[in-house]
Every structure is written in C-alpha cells, then in structure tokens.
Amino acid sequence: MKKFYSLFLAILLVVGSLAGCGEGKTENNNDNKEQSTAQEAAFPVTIKDAIDQEVVIEEKPEKIVSLMPSNTEIVFALGLGDELVGVSDYDNYPKEAAEKEKVGGMEFNVEKIISLNPDVVLAHASSAHNSTEGLQQIRDAGIDVVVVNDATSFEDVYKGMEMIGQATGAETEADKLVADMKEKLAAIKDKAAAISDSDQKSVYIEVSGEPSIFTTGTNTFMQEMLDTINAKNIISEEGWIQVDQEAVIAANPDAIITTYGAYSETSPIDQISSRKGWEEIKAVKEKQIVDVDSDMVTRSGPRLVEGVEAVAEAVYPDVFK
C-alpha cells in the first residue's frame, strides 16, 4: 500500500507540473499574440522622414532592407534581426549582420534590393542626396522608403531610433532602447561631475592619419562625448577639420584619442609618437594616446554609449576604469 500511495503521489505531481507548464505556455502565447495584434493595430502609420517625405506604411513590415550600418544596428537592437533581409556592404555588427544579403555600399544595387521584395527600405540622410534616382526606383517598385535622419547629437540619435521603431512596429522597444541609453549617459555624467575644473583635461581627437590628418570640432558626436565626460576639446571650429599640426603642438593636449586604428596599416599611436615636433606634447610624453573603436564613436546607433565609456576611460582612467 505504501508503494502504491507513493506512486500515486508521484503521478499527481507530474500531472500538476505538466498542467502548470501548459498554462505557462498558453499565457506566453497569449502575450505574444496580444503584442503582435497591438503592433498590427498601430498600422497604417504616416512618417515624415528626414527629407520631408510623407511615408505611409500600410502594414507591419515583415521584410526590411537597411542601407546604413547604424540603421542595421538599431534594427537588431529592436529585436528585428529576423526581419532584416538585406544590409549594406559596410555592416559588421552584430555578427549576424554578416549573414545577411549585401546590397552594395554608397552606390547600392537597386535591382538586388527590389529582388529581395522588402516591405520597407531604411535609407539614410547622409547619402540620400547622392542616391535620389535609386531611391525613387525603389519607391516606383511599390516598396516604402524611409530616410532616417543624419544625427550629430544624441537627441538626433533618439529621433532616428524612434522613427525606425515607428516604421517597423517596434515603438515600445524603441522607447525602451532610448530610455536605457539616457540612463547610462546620466550615470556617466554623474561620475564626470566629480571632476573639478582644475582637473579637467584637454583632448585632441584624430579621426584620420597622414597624409590628410583630420580632427573633429563642435556640433559632432565626439564633441558631445567630451562635454559628457567634462573634458575640453582643443579644437573650437565646427565639424570635421583638416589639422594644422603646429596648432596641435601649441595646444599641448593632455590626452590624444584616435579612431582609425582598425582601418590603418600602421598603428595611429606609432604615427603620432614619431611625428616631428609632437614629442613635446604632454600626451605623447606621458603616453596618453588611445585608439578607440571607430564604429562605437561614429555610428549613430545603440553602441554610442559604449563609445562614451571608451572615451571616458581613455581620458580619465582613474575615474572611469
């Protein structure tokens, strides 16, 4: 009888467990169905894109093509990697992007894009003016085209994410992504607030090496990053500027950041350290030259916060490491 009773209890436990799992699966399935239904109910949507085109998207896109690495990173961050059927030749993050069909670079392959039969193509304002005819051919094929804004600030990045979220039915995910970025940036600013004016460091940023050396000034991501970590850019001009080497030597920056190491045959640190006259710069003397991942600090996507963290550690290692 004891054996029979024990067996009976075991059967009850197994049945109860299976029933619980069934209920859990049912609840999860219901949640997924409700979320999918809510997303579909949000359509049609009308979007005014970066070139002031009104784009009406009738249904939630099932197939997406991205023409810019930053757009691709955002699409993956929104959980829509499976819907992405085509990306640009430059897309290298996340690693799953390499498995997608390539549709060209600055000059994209219109026929290839149309053959993929996407519901929406995510273009970018930085290159849209050079590809007006190609984008119109895609529209004429009955495919929606959304031109995402060319961001020069974090606020612009947030707008781009929200636009992509609206176009793809992932508005809730886009809102969460933006909120997460803002929270992480706020935490970095809180740390930087402890840096006194007397401890503030001057920084020179080099975005391309010899023979045409370029740096970055105001109204750029790099400037906003330096502002966020309470560092001073030695360049006061706006945008991307060709470097006057004598001016850099005279400014004598405390730290030097480069962003092209992955694309250069020779180390940027070696290049800078061996330049005539630069050996007297404080950053060179104290070996405060750091190469950071170009993609993290130049792409207007979710990894920009990681870019800020990398810059912060490069300039203020004692505070941020």
Q: What ranges do the domains of the chain cover?
A: 45-180, 194-320
Residue 82 tokens, joined: 């499976």
Domain 45-180 identical in fold to domain 194-320: yes
pLDDT in tens, the chain (321 residues): 444 344 434 444 333 444 444 555 555 555 555 555 555 668 999 999 999 999 999 999 999 999 999 999 999 999 999 999 999 999 999 999 999 999 998 889 999 999 999 999 999 998 888 899 999 999 999 999 999 999 889 999 999 999 999 999 999 999 999 999 999 999 999 999 999 999 999 999 999 998 899 999 998 889 999 999 999 999 999 999 999 999 999 999 999 999 999 888 889 999 999 999 999 999 999 999 999 999 999 899 999 999 999 999 999 999 998
Q: Tell me the Ramachandran region of residue 225: left when phi exceeds 0, alpha when psi lies from -120 to 50, beta otherwise.
A: alpha
**CATH 3.40.120.10 is the classification of domain 45-180:** no
Q: What is the pTM (predicted TM-score) of this model?
A: 0.85
Query: Per CATH, which fold does 194-320 belong to?
Result: Rossmann fold (3.40.50)
